[in-house]
Amino acid sequence: MELEKSLINATMEVFTSMIFIEIVPEIQAEGETAAIDSNLSSLIGLAGDLKGILAIQCPSEVAMGITGAMLGMEVTELGVDVKDAIGEIANMIAGGLKEALTASCGKIELAIPTTVIGKSIRISGLSGATRVMVPFSSPLGRFGVELRFILS
């Protein structure tokens, strides 16, 4: 699927160029639905010809590790630094996805990221949307990048 490939490429580009952590997309069997046990989700709304939500879902240890790598410091708690860093990563991935899909999907506008912290966070909503969830493995642990979308 072109959209899944674009999502993987945008995520890989951000992690390679900005965070310097090697990540590997996990291959899923046809019809398999991935799930990530998430304590932090950063969401960014998409509007225009492609409407939806892009979300990064991380367990707390992974979110802190990614933030520490991005900022070059040790991070020991889920706080403002983690929320800001993962929100910025969501923004960069959404920007890469927008660039890759504009020719095939039309105009796409991005909202400001929102990051939530909790226990076993799940993303839902957007009735009738198509869901693409790509889990990634890293030396820090697993995390997922999810896109729920509707094409106008």
pLDDT at 32: 62
For 84-99, write each residue's pLDDT tens digit: 999 999 999 999 999 9
- Distance, in Å, from the CA atom of 14 to the CA atom of 112, rounded to the nearest integer, reads 18
Residue 29 has pLDDT above 70, yes or no: no
Residue with tokens 């995390």: 143
Q: Which domains does the chain have, with CATH numbers?
A: 2-151 (3.40.1550.10)
For 104-142, write each residue's pLDDT tens digit: 888 999 999 999 988 877 777 777 888 888 999 999 999
pLDDT at 38: 85
- Distance, in Å, from the CA atom of 50 to the CA atom of 105, rounded to the nearest integer, reads 6
pLDDT at 59: 94
Instruction: Label the pairing between strands 24-25 and 130-137.
Output: antiparallel
CB 43 within 8 A of CB 112: no
pLDDT at 127: 77
Residue 14 has pLDDT above 70, yes or no: yes
CB 23 within 8 A of CB 136: yes
pLDDT at 31: 58
Mean pLDDT of the chain: 90
CB 39 within 8 A of CB 79: no
